[in-house]
C-alpha cells in the first residue's frame, strides 16, 4: 500500500502469489474456513437431487444428470460472496492498514484474496464432481470437456468476483456483505435453467431465463460434460465475463482507493 513509487509489476505479482499462499496455508490452522466451500455444495447436490429430483425429472438418475452442471454453476455464484466477505473482514480488521507500512503493491492484497478464492472455487467444483460420480453421474463427452468446463466456470467466477469485491469494499461489515449477496443471488440463480428445462416455464418467463448468464453458462457446462452443443454458449459466457470485469473492476478499485484514504 505505497504511493506510485512503490513496487513494480513483477514484485506486485510475486506479492500477490505470496498473499494468496498465506490465505491458503492458514486453512491448516482454521480448516472450518473451507467449510463454506465444502458443506454448501454437498447440501445443494444432495437436497436438490434426492428431495426434488424425482418430482422434477422423473427419477433421481435423470435429475442428477440434468442438475449437476447447473449446481456447479449455482454454487460458484454463491461462494463468490465469500470473496467480498473476506475482503471486508480484512478491511474492518485492520489487515490492509498493517500492510500500509510495508513495501507492498496497492493491488496485491486484493489480487491475492481473489486468487486464493479461485483455488477454493476449484476445490468446490472438484468436490461436487466427485460426489456426483459417487451418486452415479457419468460424463458423455471426452475428458477435455471436463477441463473446459472447469476453466469456463473459473473464468466467470473471476469476473463475477469483482461485483462481490465492490460490495465487500462499500459494505459496513461482513454481515451486510452476506445479506446483500444472498438476497441478490437467489433470484439470479433460481430464475434459470439450473433445475428445470426452459420449455417447462411460463412463456413470459422463458425469455428472461434464456438471457440469464447463469442459464447460458449452465448450458455450456452441460454441453461440455454431456456432449451437447456448447461453443455458442461458451462464447456468450466469455462476453459476459468481459463485460462484468470491465464494469466492476474499475469501480471496485476506485472504491478501495477511497476507503483506504
Per-residue pLDDT tens over the stretch 168-201: 888 888 788 888 877 888 889 999 999 988 988 8
By mean pLDDT, which of 35-39, 72-76, 120-124, 153-157 is the weakest? Answer: 35-39
pTM, to two decimals: 0.88
- For the segment 143-171, the average pLDDT, to the nearest whole number, is 91
The whole-angstrom separation of Cα 17 and Cα 108 is 8
Q: Given this model, what pLDDT does residue 102 score?
A: 67
**Burial class for 159, CB neighbours closer than 10 Å (0-12, 13-18, 19+):** buried
Express each pLDDT in 81-119 by its tens digit.
888 888 887 777 766 666 666 666 667 777 888 888 888
Residue with the larger pLDDT of the pair 63 and 102: 63
Q: Given this model, what pLDDT does residue 8 score?
A: 66
The whole-angstrom separation of Cα 258 and Cα 170 is 10
CB–CB of 240/156 below 8 Å? yes
Whether pLDDT at 4 is above 60: no
CB–CB of 124/37 below 8 Å? yes
Whether pLDDT at 3 is above 70: no
Q: How confident is the model at residue 56 (pLDDT cuts 50, 70, 90)?
A: confident
CB neighbour burial string for 180-201, b if at least 16 within 10 angstroms, e if fewer: bbeeebeeebeebbbbbebeeb
Express each pLDDT in 122-145 by its tens digit.
999 999 999 999 999 998 878 899
The whole-angstrom separation of Cα 60 and Cα 46 is 10
The whole-angstrom separation of Cα 40 and Cα 13 is 32
Whether pLDDT at 244 is above 50: yes
Residue listed under C-alpha cell 509489476: 9
Amino acid at each position: 500500500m505505497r504511493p506510485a513509487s512503490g513496487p513494480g509489476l513483477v514484485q506486485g505479482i510475486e506479492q500477490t502469489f505470496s498473499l494468496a499462499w498465506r490465505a491458503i496455508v492458514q486453512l491448516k490452522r482454521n480448516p472450518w474456513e473451507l467449510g463454506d466451500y465444502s458443506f454448501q455444495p454437498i447440501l445443494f447436490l444432495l437436497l436438490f437431487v434426492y428431495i426434488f429430483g424425482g418430482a422434477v425429472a422423473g427419477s433421481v438418475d435423470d435429475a442428477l444428470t440434468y442438475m449437476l452442471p447447473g449446481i456447479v454453476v449455482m454454487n460458484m455464484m454463491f461462494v463468490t460472496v465469500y470473496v467480498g466477505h473476506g475482503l471486508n473482514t480484512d478491511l474492518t480488521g485492520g489487515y490492509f492498514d498493517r500492510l500500509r507500512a510495508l513495501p507492498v503493491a496497492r493491488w496485491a492484497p486484493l489480487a491475492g484474496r481473489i486468487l486464493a478464492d479461485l483455488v477454493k472455487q476449484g476445490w468446490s467444483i472438484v468436490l461436487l464432481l466427485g460426489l456426483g460420480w459417487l451418486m452415479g453421474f457419468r460424463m458423455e463427452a471426452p475428458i477435455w470437456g471436463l477441463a473446459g468446463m472447469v476453466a469456463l466456470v473459473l473464468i466467470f467466477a473471476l469476473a463475477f468476483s469483482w461485483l462481490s469485491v465492490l460490495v465487500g469494499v462499500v459494505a459496513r461489515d461482513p454481515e451486510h456483505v452476506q445479506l446483500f449477496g444472498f438476497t441478490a443471488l437467489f433470484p439470479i440463480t433460481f430464475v434459470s435453467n439450473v433445475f428445470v428445462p426452459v420449455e417447462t416455464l411460463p412463456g413470459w418467463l422463458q425469455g428472461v431465463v434464456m438471457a440469464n448468464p447463469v442459464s447460458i453458462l449452465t448450458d455450456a457446462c452441460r454441453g461440455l460434460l454431456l456432449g451437447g452443443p456448447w461453443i455458442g454458449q461458451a462464447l456468450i459466457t466469455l462476453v459476459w465475463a468481459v463485460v462484468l470485469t470491465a464494469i466492476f473492476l474499475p469501480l471496485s478499485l476506485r472504491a478501495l482507493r477511497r476507503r483506504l484514504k
